[in-house]
Amino acid sequence: MAKELAFVLINPYTVSKSRTGGVIARYISRTGLDLVAARMFAPSPELARAYAQLIRTDSDVDPVIRPILADYVEREFGPDAATGRSRRVMMLLFEGENAIQIVKDVTGPIRPTNSGESVRDTFGDYILDAAGAVHYLEPAVFIGPTAHATGEALKLWAKYSAECGGIVDTAGDVAQGATLEEALVILKPDNFRFASARPGLIIDIFSRSGLRIVGAKVHRMTVAEAEEFYGPVRDVLREKLKGKVAERAAKAVAAELGMEISEAIKGQLGEIIGPTYGDNQFYQIVQFMTGRWGEGLVDEEKAKPGNSRCLLLVYAGPNAISRIRSILGPTDPSKALPGSVRREFGQDIMVNAAHASDSVENAKREMGITKVGEDTIRTWVEAYYP
């Protein structure tokens, strides 16, 4: 069976209530599909109307529900009528065999059964009045229920992806002001070794920061990006590890040759071997983040997308850097507080679940290196619908 591309649109209400992590956890763990792209949108009135019209004319949707869903999109996806400020919508793309039907099954029907089995059971609402008419509707997410509907919707959103997507830090529910900061968070490759709820659960922990997700991208870091991203760490490792290397090298030489090593010789061993050992440790980090051993590669090879996948998220709000890092926890998971991301999901100082920017300046530098606002939605859609 050929692979398909399916999408999930996490509605503005679901996103604003910080239910994003729970929704993502459900789709990754219950579909077993590959999460291949993610992007934040601030839909324009034109995009909201166009998507509503697609739903309004989709004969595969229940004719009773169809106009209600279309009206919902036109009303809730576009800018707020009172303030004119945009709303946040997150698009996820999943790839795999029978992806469209699998996503549909996990999403559940518009009329939830309240069993908790589907995404809409848990995160959606469908309330009728005494006369049996729809009193309140919150679908939680939108999907493409058929191959045709999926294709039409994807082509539409891809058309507006550059205009309406990227870093949406001016959305109506994003706090503005002098203390506004943006922090880059990377959910590292150890969270994507197999389909699990981990990425969503980590996002759920970060939600207690009260910050808003304003950017999202599934990324395969290149070796060149990793070298630049972790470049400052390399010099630290080369210097910091000299003493450790000197002690271990002196012991090894003494054991092998049966002779004592003077402090002067020990220091020389550290100066000679320490930087090389630091480089080795540096490239282990690069390998972990990219899935490729980068040392010795030519520039052309370094520029190729890595084999490992991570999820980039940009959080915005007052004092975002310190708030995110306090929830993340220290580099060593064993020293992190209970309830922190690294204590819950970290393994060691390298395989520690997530990275977070440590300053406003570094956040800007890191977002530039990883191109977190880059439009990958259109690339994936054009691959399936050239």
Distances (CA, A) of 263 to 6, 75, 215, 282: 64, 75, 52, 27
Name the residue with tokens 């059971």. 121
User: With 90 as the cut, is the pLDDT of residue 267 above it?
Assistant: no
pLDDT recorded at residue 243 = 83
If pLDDT is split at 50, 70 and 90, which confidence band does 308 have? very high
User: With 90 as the cut, is the pLDDT of residue 306 above it?
Assistant: yes
pLDDT recorded at residue 278 = 87
Q: Which of 135, 148, 219, 355 is catalytic?
A: 355
Q: What is the mean pLDDT of residues 59-68?
A: 86
| 219 annotated active-site | no
Domain-wise residue ranges, the chain: 3-186+212-220+370-384, 226-302
pLDDT recorded at residue 265 = 82
CB 25, CB 34: distance < 8 Å: no
Q: Which of 268, 266, 251, 228 is nearest to 368 (CA)?
A: 228
pLDDT recorded at residue 133 = 84
In this structure, which topology does domain 3-186+212-220+370-384 adopt according to CATH?
Alpha-Beta Plaits (3.30.70)
Both structure tokens of 313: 């998220």
Distances (CA, A) of 151 to 3, 100, 107, 154: 14, 10, 18, 5
